[in-house]
Amino acid sequence: MGSVKTIGTGICSYSVLEMIDYGSFGDIFKISKNQDKKVYAMKQIKYRGDFRDDAYIMSEIYCLSRLKHRNIIAMHDIVIDVNEIHIIMEYAANENLQRYLLSHEDMLHGQKYDIFAQVLHGVMYCHSMEISHRDLTPVNILLTDDLVVKIADFGLAVKCITDAGSLLLCTDYIGTASYLPPEMILSQQPFLPKPVDVWSLGILLIFIICLEVPYKGFHDDILAQQMKESWVDFLKIKSQALDYRVPKEVICLLEECLRINAMDRVNIDEMLCKWDKCKATAL
């Protein structure tokens, strides 16, 4: 291995071991702390001017500093350099859920359902803390060596209530297109953030079962597919190809998650309760 890059000074000194991933909101590295050689993950975010003026940076720092849960990635430290912020987090050895599932296509559906249950527990905790993730995709869900789920990447997360205590309405229509609900793709009026997570969880569940998402293409293409509720036929065809009969309880839950009207969707508490029954059908 070549030379490593050292960042920070004193007890906040870390060495970069390798790059894990990259993205529009920051690059991810595997690092070790020089003092005790403990391994962490580091998200490196570039900024201009005062980073405190960047709503997405401040949102991620706020969420990670406030959320403490087994299924939420834990923040260890923050190192601020000129034009860069380094968020030091726990390291998840199995990387993200998408890569793991695609390299373990023979995983039992009972195991897949257990993983999804952990995701639900993490999201339910976030919602109980009045935080919505808004970018729940398999790329942003990490797995440890023993397959403990760690929800990560809170760059698009928002508080669900204002400082005055009223419901927050969002007006930024960004995220991963295949996982966006109709109200975000239409981008015509403000929307509530929690139902966005529920829709994304429905698409995530289909991906976990089928290893593909039902909606692809540009926003207009995706919206047309959503209005036709084409996920139903997609799930049927893909599950048959995988020689797996999706339990009716799972299909019923998906119907409640993927309702076009955001206000008609199931909430996360109800979703987790219903999922316990779904898990029993997979055994």
Does position 8 have pLDDT exceeding 60, yes or no? no
Instruction: Check whether residue 74 and residue 109 sit in a common domain.
Output: no
* Residue 27: active-site member: no
Q: Residue 264: its pLDDT value, please? A: 98
Q: Residue 49: its pLDDT value, please? A: 85
Q: Find the mean pLDDT for residues 183-206.
A: 95
Domain final position from 58, 75, 90: 90
Does position 219 have pLDDT exceeding 60, yes or no? yes
Q: How far apart are CA 279 and CA 116, in angstroms?
A: 10
Does position 24 have pLDDT exceeding 80, yes or no? no
Q: Residue 198: its pLDDT value, please? A: 99
Other Cβ atoms within 10 Å of 127 Cβ, number: 19
Query: What's the gap between Cα 130 and its chain centre?
Result: 16
Q: Find the mean pLDDT for residues 21-46.
A: 88
**Residue at 210 is within a domain:** yes
Q: Which domain holds residue 20?
A: 6-90
Instruction: Check whether residue 143 and residue 209 sit in a common domain.
Output: yes
Alpha-carbon distances of 212 from 59, 94, 179, 189, 200, rounded to whole Å: 30, 20, 12, 30, 14
CA angle at 6 for the pair 48 and 24, rounded to the nearest 5°: 40
Q: Residue 158: its pLDDT value, please? A: 95
Does position 215 have pLDDT exceeding 80, yes or no? yes
User: Which two three-digit tokens encode residue 211?
Assistant: 């290893």
Q: Find the mean pLDDT for residues 98-106.
A: 96
Highest mean pLDDT among 69-73, 77-81, 153-157, 240-244: 69-73
Does position 9 have pLDDT exceeding 80, yes or no? no
How is the beta sheet containing 84-90 ordered, strand by strand? 6-7, 14-21, 27-33, 39-46, 84-90, 75-81
Q: Residue 272: its pLDDT value, please? A: 96
Percent of the chain topping pLDDT 70: 94
Instruction: Check whether residue 130 and residue 78 sit in a common domain.
Output: no
Q: Residue 54: its pLDDT value, please? A: 86
Least confident range from 27-31, 81-85, 106-110, 212-216: namely 81-85
pLDDT tens-digit profile of 103-136?
Answer: 999 999 999 999 999 999 999 999 999 999 999 9
Domain final position from 90, 119, 138: 90
Q: Residue 23: its pLDDT value, please? A: 65
Instruction: Check whether residue 203 and residue 84 sit in a common domain.
Output: no
Q: How far apart are CA 271 and CA 124, in angstroms?
A: 9
Q: Residue 6: its pLDDT value, please? A: 52
Number of domains in the chain: 2
50, 114, 135, 243: the catalytic one is: 135
- Which of 158, 121, 159, 169 minimizes the C-alpha distance to 141? 121
Q: Find the mean pLDDT for residues 245-266.
A: 95
User: Which two three-digit tokens encode residue 122?
Assistant: 């993490």
Instruction: Check whether residue 197 and residue 221 sit in a common domain.
Output: yes
Q: What is the CATH classification number for the domain harbouring 59?
A: 3.30.200.20
- pTM given for the model: 0.92
Domain final position from 73, 90, 107: 90
**Residue at 145 is within a domain:** yes
Q: Residue 169: its pLDDT value, please? A: 94
- Which of 95, 96, 70, 77 minimizes the C-alpha distance to 32? 77
Does position 2 have pLDDT exceeding 50, yes or no? no
